[in-house]
């Protein structure tokens, strides 16, 4: 008789606490759901803040960094003497190894007409070190920009590069406009 | 069960244990290789090969070395190959290890599944809940108190000053930092150097100003005097905006109207911007909040001992507040057309004030204050006894004074380090002269200028450039025996000062024509007519020339031998003042308002 | 562009004029004469938002299925295969992000930072497992959590830990949870995600250190089953507490336990409570005295722990980027000779007001001060309550699963001879 009473009391307490927890969880859910994002968000670099420190190449959780250089060709001046392609102080404007700035030779150039060249990034080779971005920004039009490639990015809860970025250039942006390129409109 | 039988029929236990063993060893091997690979990558990052970089540098010095060229190319190929191979190895190795471990786990799972036997009932049934609870309590109490005791010990030893420092920084800067030590030391040396020159200097040892002088943490981001530190027209700040629009308000961070007019330019220190304004009867100094543009304080300059009862006669193009104030983070120093000189602390409290004697000057005094260590350098080329003075910022007492037999001039001093020493360089008819800033001794002079000199000189790389209307532009190679390397009379200025880099000299005439010369040869590279008159002096910032014309349009072009316009943003208000810069921001005084421009 | 122009540019190039203004078309797009047409800039799109909801649907499906398998079907085999599926889907396919363990940080950040808005999936991933636990016990741990699954398949030779060792180590997750909430609530860092030991395996990518920790934990899990779940997982703390009040829970025997003792060694996690013999009953007045003592000590302990933790608030605060930056700027202003850190020079060049940064850093330090008081108080409370808990004896006559620590893996079910 006593035992049964005890069990009943325990059940009552259990039910009460359960309802309490349930209500609490519901409240958290409801309160926070008023503050949710309208859609999905992804990490992106603001090229205006980026200082090309080179940490993107090494800090990503992926072995092949999700940050790569994007060439906004609409902004390009097609210069022969490209600050993003050639090492500074280079004497000869050619494609030889001693003239190229990119450590992995990930920028290819194609002759268009005298004296213009078209540049494009070979994405498989680009490691996101930002050397070319620095060169282009300092001397050229700034058409080379570092961006998180969403084909590669696993969209970590807390981006490992954002944590070490010295200029706080990383932020979450809506997935509907996932790129922050200057001089180029997102299609979507 | 069907599945049960299925697995039972799948090979023998021995087979599966062998599979597990082999895949386990294989996985272990790959892991070891991956670790070795990792260590190798750590040791030599093939992408940032120092060797290649140094070889390229060597090649740049000797571009004809074809052997070296070949070496670089082969090394580059090798290192890139090595890099991508290692990356490939890591990727493939990772997948292989994963696969091997997966197989091992499956094999082991199958083995354990098949070996699963009905458990034996343990022999003794010692119900020792009580004992366990007691042990748990003992350990929690014991272990917990040891941890807590250690934590408390370190907590007592820990010093928490971060917060105080941070909040201290936000209100008033902390005391006793190295900057103020330096100031104190310099103060001493100046006194001993110059005590023979001036009796009053000895008195400066007894400073009336509190020694605990505030020092702004980020001293590089200030704009202490007219045309930047030293007054040479070059600012070191970064990220300066190139576009704005006064009409639409684009990039205009704030705009505040200045109560009294004046042609003095803004100066900036820490979180404050200072300008002066005056009319025939009133003279005022304003302290603005750098972030919001709010006027934090206004100080009326009155009851200054020795102020002449009658204000000076000035031309409308000079006004009553033409000289730019100076600030060193301790105080703000301002001079007006009647010779009033005042020192205020950063909060607008008067430190000292005096009158330098009514200037004999038919347009109005316009030379801006300069700072050297703890002295104000004042050009006072007036009708009677033209002189250059140094006044202690702390006490307002004269440290030294050098009489200059020159005509009245309106140029500001330029203080530059010419390599071995620091010099004050001044231009007035008939010569450009240099003075030792510690004692005012004349170091050199050269006759090359005439007329009513308005523009200050420009200095770069051992060369001084002086200019005046109806005179000439002269490039002076300085030294004990200064010489004129070249001169030119095509385009001359009577108000804007020239600016120079190691390679080029830029000059704007007051009718709005900018011209660029080779600094060494004097060869003219380009000229560009802007169409509007220019009173403001050009500034070189981040390799760009910022030239503000009288209508308020800023002409921004590359400091280069080819004229390349970057942009021409319009302030929308007339201006005759030289802009001030801090990182990311420009401060422009228009005729009525003070603007802060930034992104 | 003639040769002269090219030489001119070469000179500009070599004169090392470093400026970094953005978006200025210094060299306008040339007018091509050869009929060249400009290609378009290509950027890959991110994974569609619809997949996010697919993940959520799979998650809910898995939770429902596992609860059904555990409570109704009582099938160890089903739990095992579902856990393999979760490992492959949430682990290797979805790369371990987003998981409920990490979502607790998003939640606490959102609760304390009203300006932070979080995705609806984060709320769902946080609330749903707790909700299911409230009704069915920790079924989420059994077969949906990929972190649990990867350890579970390695549990080949589990040894049973002494229950007091287990209880002692079981205090670590509380401290971890407290720290995780502190750092997330101050908007500093997501330490649970950062030190997730297994996510590296899911992505085939991690730092060497994290791989090493993950590998060691997997090796340990051969002998001590699910070490992360039991002795580290901060989300497990919440599930543990909620599960104690669950409506239904996995039971070893489907009906009345016959105390055959066959299941005694069945649980690799030591989550089976044995019946207590009457002989061990201590005198109740001793127990009551002890309980009162602990209840009195607890507030004192909370105060002492809170004070101690508050003394460390600046060490905690220095994890925050802004505080660290402000500190470094302050230090570099004092010692001008040293080359300032990259962050400092970047900040200076950005033209932001240092005073604003200082003010913000001071505010964050303040929050850390309050937060570390709470953290210390929380740890003190946990220690006090744990002590009190070890004073109480629950009288049991059956072999039952411990509702708090049981992962509902259903291993014990196969050992029970009672089938109906």
Q: How confident is the model at residue B274 (pLDDT cuts 50, 70, 90)?
A: very high
Residues A26 and A108 in one domain: no
Three-state secondary-structure class, residue C407? coil
Which residues does A177 contact at the CB level (< 8 Å), separation at least 6?
A: A186, A188
State the pLDDT at residue B192: 34
Q: Let me know if residue A181 belongs to a domain.
A: no
ipTM for the predicted complex comes to: 0.86
Residues B178, C163: C-beta atoms closer than 8 Å: no
Domain count along chain A = 2
Window 35-64 of A, Cβ < 8 Å to B: 57, 63-64
Do A63 and A114 reside in the same domain of the chain? yes
Residue C128 has a pLDDT of 94
In A, minimum Cα distance to B82 occurs at A104
Question: Do A97 and A123 lie in a common domain?
Answer: yes
Q: Which residues of chain C have pLDDT under 50?
A: 1-24
In degrees and rounded to multiples of 5, residue A173 shows phi and psi of -125, 155
In the sheet that holds B458-460, the strands lie side by side as: B458-460, B463-466, B473-477, B483-488
Subunit contact C163:B132, Cβ cutoff 8 A: yes
Judged by a CB distance cut-off of 8 A, whether residue A147 touches chain C is yes
Q: Which helix (H) or strand (E) is B355 found in, with range?
A: strand B350-355
| Phi then psi dihedrals of residue C84, to 5 deg | -65, -45
pLDDT on residue A91: 73
Residue C29 at interface with chain A, using a CB cutoff of 8 Å = yes
pLDDT digits (tens, 9 = 90+) for B10-49: 677 788 889 999 999 999 999 999 888 878 776 666 566 6
The rounded distance, in Å, linking the Cα atoms of B420 and B434 is: 14
DSSP code for B123: S
Count of pairs with CB atoms under 8 A, one residue in A, one in C: 201
| pLDDT tier for residue B116 given thresholds of 50, 70 and 90 | low
Residue A62: the pLDDT is 84
Cβ pair A91:B56 closer than 8 A: no
Phi–psi pair at B495, nearest 5 degrees:
-125, -60
A133: nearest CA partner in chain C = C20
Closest CB to B598: pick one of C77, C307, C351: C351
Decide if C246 and A115 are in contact by the 8 Å CB cutoff. Answer: no
Mean pLDDT of B511-517: 90
Instruction: Examine the domain organization and report whether A101 and A117 are in the same domain.
Output: yes
CATH superfamily of the domain spanning B187-598: YVTN repeat-like/Quinoprotein amine dehydrogenase (2.130.10.10)
Does the pLDDT at position B5 exceed 60? no
| Three-class DSSP labels, B380-447 | ECCCCCCEEEEEECCCCCEEEEEECCCCCCCCCCEEEECCCCEEEEEEECCEEEEECCCCCCEEEEEE
> Residue A184 domain-assigned?
no
The DSSP secondary structure of B528-590, one letter per residue, reads EE-SS---SPPEEETTEEEEE-TTSBEEEEESSSS--EEE--B-SS---S--EEETTEEEEE-
Q: What is the pLDDT of residue B126?
A: 58
Tell me the three-class secondary structure of B229-273, residue by residue: HHHCCEECCCCCCCCCECCCCECEEEEEECCCCCCCCCEEECCEE
| Number of helical H runs and strand E runs in chain A | 4, 6
Residue A95 forms contact with B (CB below 8 Å): no
Q: Kindly indicate the confidence band of residue B555, based on its pLDDT and cuts at 50, 70 and 90.
A: very high
- Find the closest chain A residue to C11 by CA distance: A89
CA distance C128 to chain B (A): 30
Interchain contact, A91 vs B72, CB within 8 Å: no
What are the domain boundaries of chain B? 2-115, 187-598
Predicted confidence (pLDDT) at residue B431 exceeds the cutoff of 80 = yes
CB proximity B69 to A under 8 Å: yes
Q: Note the pLDDT of residue B405.
A: 84
| DSSP SS3 for B166 | helix
| Whole-number pLDDT of residue C1 | 40
What is the largest distance, in Å, between two alpha-carbon atoms of chain B? 119
Cβ-in-10-Å burial (0-12, 13-18, 19+) of B81 comes to exposed
Of residues A98, A103, A104, nearest to B59 (C-beta): A98
The H or E element that residue B42 is part of is helix B13-43
User: Does some domain include residue A182?
Assistant: no
Domain-located, residue A7: yes
Q: What is the DSSP letter of C415?
A: G
Q: How do residues A44-103 score in pLDDT, each as one tens digit?
A: 999 988 989 889 988 888 888 899 999 988 888 888 888 889 888 777 778 888 888 888
pLDDT confidence of residue B359 = 84
Per-residue pLDDT of B476-508, as tens digits, reads 988 878 888 898 888 888 889 999 998 899 999
Same domain, A147 and A72: yes
Question: For C269-319, what is each residue's pLDDT tens digit?
Answer: 989 888 876 655 556 778 788 888 888 889 999 999 999 999 999 889 999
Domain range enclosing A7: 1-36
Model pLDDT, residue B121: 67
Give per-residue burial for B362-388: e unless 16+ CB within 10 Å, then b: ebbbbbbbbbbbbbbbbbbbbeeebbb
How far is B265 from B7, CA to CA, in rounded Å?
90
pLDDT tens column, C152-178? 999 988 888 888 888 889 999 999 999
Distance from C-alpha of B518 to C-alpha of B525, rounded to nearest angstrom: 7
pLDDT band at A185 (very low <50, low <70, confident <90, very high): low
3-state secondary structure of C251: coil
Same domain, A30 and A93: no
- C10 by Cβ neighbours in 10 Å (0-12 / 13-18 / 19+) ranks as middle
Residue B355 has pLDDT above 80, yes or no: yes
User: What pLDDT score was predicted for residue A181?
Assistant: 86
- B512, B534 Cβ separation under 8 angstroms: yes
pLDDT, tens digit (0-9, with 9 covering 90-100), for B154-182:
888 877 777 777 776 544 343 333 333 33
Higher pLDDT, B461 or B309: B461
Tens-place pLDDT, residues C92-120: 998 887 789 999 999 999 999 888 878 88
For A105, the closest of B49, B80, B91 (CB atoms) is: B80
> Do residues A90 and A1 share a domain?
no
Please give the structure tokens belonging to residue B518.
């080779």
What token pair was written down for B3? Answer: 């599945």
Alpha-carbon gap, residue B411 to C282, rounded angstroms? 99
> Is residue B70 over pLDDT 60?
yes
> In this structure, what token pair is assigned to residue B400?
């030294």
User: How many residues comprise chain A?
Assistant: 188
For C10, which residue in chain A has the nearest alpha carbon? A81
Q: Which residues contact B297 (CB under 8 A, 6 or more apart)?
A: B286, B287, B347, B348
Q: What is the mean pLDDT of residues B220-239?
A: 88
Q: Give the N- to C-terminal CA distance of chain C in Å, as an integer.
A: 92
Q: B483 Cβ partners below 8 Å, 6+ apart?
A: B446, B476, B477
Nearest Cα residue in chain C from A64: C205
Q: Which of A38-42, B267-271, C207-211 has the lowest mean pLDDT?
A: A38-42
pTM score, two decimals? 0.66
Taking an 8 Å cut-off on Cβ atoms, the answer to whether B47 and A129 are in contact is: yes
Buried b / exposed e over C213-243, threshold 16 CB at 10 Å, is: bbbebbebbeebbbbbbbbbbbbbbbbbebb
CA distance B450 to B300: 37
**Separation of alpha carbons B378 and B203, rounded Å:** 20
Given strand B414-417, what is the order of strands in its sheet? B414-417, B422-428, B431-435, B442-447
CB atoms within 10 A of CB C278: 9
Residue B223 gets which letter from DSSP? B
């Amino acid at each position: 008789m006593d035992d049964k009473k005890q069990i009943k009391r325990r059940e009552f307490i259990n039910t009460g606490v359960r309802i309490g927890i349930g209500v609490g969880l519901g409240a958290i859910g409801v309160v926070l759901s008023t503050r949710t994002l309208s859609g999905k968000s992804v990490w992106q670099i603001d090229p205006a803040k980026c200082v090309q420190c080179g940490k993107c190449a090494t800090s990503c959780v992926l072995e092949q960094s999700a940050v790569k250089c994007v060439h906004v060709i609409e902004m390009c001046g097609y210069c022969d003497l490209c600050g993003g392609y050639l090492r500074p102080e280079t004497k000869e404007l050619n494609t030889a190894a001693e003239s190229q700035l990119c450590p992995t030779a990930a920028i290819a150039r194609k002759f268009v007409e005298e004296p213009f060249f078209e540049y494009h990034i070979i994405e498989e080779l680009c490691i996101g070190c930002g050397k070319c971005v620095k060169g282009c920004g300092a001397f050229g039009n700034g058409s080379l920009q570092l961006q998180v490639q969403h084909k590669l990015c696993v969209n970590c809860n807390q981006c490992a590069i954002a944590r070490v970025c010295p200029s706080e250039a990383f932020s979450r942006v809506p997935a509907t406009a996932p790129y922050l390129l200057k001089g180029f409109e997102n299609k979507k | 069960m069907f599945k049960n039988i299925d697995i039972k029929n799948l090979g023998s236990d021995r087979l599966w244990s062998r599979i597990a063993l082999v895949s386990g060893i294989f996985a272990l091997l790959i892991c070891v290789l991956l670790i070795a690979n990792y260590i190798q990558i750590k040791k030599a990052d093939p992408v940032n090969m120092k060797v290649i970089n140094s070889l390229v540098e060597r090649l740049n010095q000797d571009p004809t070395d074809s052997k070296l060229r070949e070496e670089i190319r082969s090394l580059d190929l090798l290192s890139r190959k090595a890099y991508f191979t290692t990356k490939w190895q890591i990727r493939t190795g990772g997948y292989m290890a994963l696969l091997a471990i997966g197989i091992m786990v499956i094999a082991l799972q199958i083995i354990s599944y098949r070996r699963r036997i009905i458990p034996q009932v343990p022999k003794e049934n010692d119900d020792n809940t009580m004992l366990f609870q007691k042990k748990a309590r003992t350990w929690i109490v014991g272990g917990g108190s040891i941890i807590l005791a250690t934590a408390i010990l370190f907590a007592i030893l820990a010093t928490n000053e971060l917060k105080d420092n941070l909040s201290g920084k936000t209100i008033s800067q902390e005391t006793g930092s190295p900057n103020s030590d330096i100031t104190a030391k310099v103060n001493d040396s100046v006194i001993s150097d110059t005590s023979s020159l001036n009796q009053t200097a000895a008195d400066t040892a007894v400073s009336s100003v509190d020694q605990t002088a505030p020092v702004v943490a980020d001293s590089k981001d200030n704009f202490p005097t007219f045309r930047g530190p030293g007054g040479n027209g070059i600012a070191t700040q970064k990220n300066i905006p190139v576009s704005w629009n006064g009409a639409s308000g684009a990039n205009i961070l704030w705009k505040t109207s200045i109560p009294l007019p004046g042609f003095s330019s803004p100066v900036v220190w820490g979180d404050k911007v200072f300008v002066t304004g005056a009319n025939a009867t009133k003279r005022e100094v304003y302290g603005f909040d750098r972030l919001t543009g709010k006027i934090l304080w206004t100080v009326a300059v009155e009851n200054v001992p020795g102020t002449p009862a009658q204000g000076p006669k000035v031309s409308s193009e000079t006004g009553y507040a033409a000289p730019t104030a100076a600030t060193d983070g301790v105080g703000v120093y301002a001079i007006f057309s009647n010779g009033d000189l005042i020192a205020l602390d950063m909060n607008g409290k008067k430190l000292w004030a005096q009158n330098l004697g009514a200037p004999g000057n038919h347009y109005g005094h316009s030379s801006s204050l300069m700072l050297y260590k703890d002295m104000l350098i004042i050009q006072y080329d007036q009708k009677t006894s033209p002189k250059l003075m140094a006044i202690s910022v702390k006490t307002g007492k004269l440290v030294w004074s050098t009489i200059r037999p020159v005509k009245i001039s309106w140029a500001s001093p330029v203080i530059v380090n010419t390599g071995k020493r620091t010099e004050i360089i001044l231009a007035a008819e008939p010569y450009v002269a240099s003075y030792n800033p510690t004692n005012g001794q004349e170091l050199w002079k050269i006759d090359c200028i005439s007329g009513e000199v308005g523009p200050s000189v420009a200095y770069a790389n051992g060369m001084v450039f002086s200019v005046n209307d109806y005179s000439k532009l002269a490039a002076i190679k300085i030294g004990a025996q200064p010489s004129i390397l070249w001169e030119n009379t095509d385009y001359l200025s009577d108000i804007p000062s020239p600016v120079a880099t190691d390679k080029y000299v830029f000059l704007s005439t007051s009718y709005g024509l900018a011209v660029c010369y080779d600094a060494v040869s004097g060869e003219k590279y380009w000229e560009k007519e802007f169409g509007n008159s220019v009173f403001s002096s050009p500034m070189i910032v981040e390799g760009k020339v910022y030239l503000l014309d009288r209508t308020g349009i800023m002409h921004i072009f590359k400091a280069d031998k080819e004229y390349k316009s970057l942009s021409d943003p319009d302030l929308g208000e007339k201006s005759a003042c030289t802009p001030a810069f801090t990182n990311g921001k420009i401060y422009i005084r228009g005729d009525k308002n003070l603007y802060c421009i930034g992104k | 562009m003639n040769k002269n122009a090219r030489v001119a540019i070469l000179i500009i190039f070599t004169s090392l004029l470093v400026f970094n203004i953005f978006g200025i078309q210094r060299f306008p797009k040339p007018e091509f004469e050869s009929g060249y047409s400009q290609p378009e800039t290509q950027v890959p799109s991110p994974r569609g938002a619809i997949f996010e909801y697919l993940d959520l649907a799979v998650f809910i499906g898995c939770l429902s299925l596992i609860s059904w398998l555990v409570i109704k079907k009582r099938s160890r085999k089903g739990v095992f295969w579902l856990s393999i599926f979760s490992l492959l889907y949430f682990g290797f396919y979805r790369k371990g992000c987003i998981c409920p363990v990490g979502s607790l940080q998003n939640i606490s950040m959102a609760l304390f930072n009203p300006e932070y808005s979080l995705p609806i999936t984060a709320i769902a991933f946080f609330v749903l497992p707790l909700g299911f636990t409230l009704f069915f016990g920790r079924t989420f741990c059994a077969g949906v959590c990929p972190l649990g699954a990867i350890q579970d398949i390695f549990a080949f030779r589990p040894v049973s830990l002494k229950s007091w060792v287990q209880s002692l180590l079981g205090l670590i997750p509380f401290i971890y949870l407290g720290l995780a909430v502190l750092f997330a609530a101050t908007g500093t860092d997501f330490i649970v995600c950062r030190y997730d030991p297994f996510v590296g395996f899911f992505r085939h990518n991690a730092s060497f250190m994290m791989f090493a920790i993950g590998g060691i934990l997997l090796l340990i899990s051969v002998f001590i089953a699910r070490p992360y779940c039991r002795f580290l997982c901060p989300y497990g703390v919440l599930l543990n507490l909620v599960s104690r009040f669950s409506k239904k829970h996995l039971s070893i025997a489907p009906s009345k336990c016959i105390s055959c003792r066959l299941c005694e060694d069945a649980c690799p996690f030591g989550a089976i409570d044995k019946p207590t013999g009457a002989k061990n009953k201590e005198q109740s007045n001793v127990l009551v005295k002890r309980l009162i003592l602990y209840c009195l000590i607890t507030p004192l302990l909370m105060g002492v722990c809170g004070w101690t933790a508050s003394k460390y608030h600046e060490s905690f605060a220095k994890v925050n980027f802004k505080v660290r930056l402000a500190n470094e700027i302050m230090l570099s202003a004092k010692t001008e000779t040293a080359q300032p850190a990259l962050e400092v020079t970047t900040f200076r060049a950005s033209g932001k007001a240092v005073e604003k940064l200082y003010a913000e850093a001071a505010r964050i330090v303040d929050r850390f001060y309050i937060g570390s008081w709470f953290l210390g108080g929380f740890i003190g409370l946990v220690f006090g309550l744990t002590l009190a808990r070890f004073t109480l004896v629950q009288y049991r006559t059956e072999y039952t699963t411990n509702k708090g620590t049981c992962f509902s893996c259903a291993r014990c079910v196969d050992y029970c001879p009672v089938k109906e």
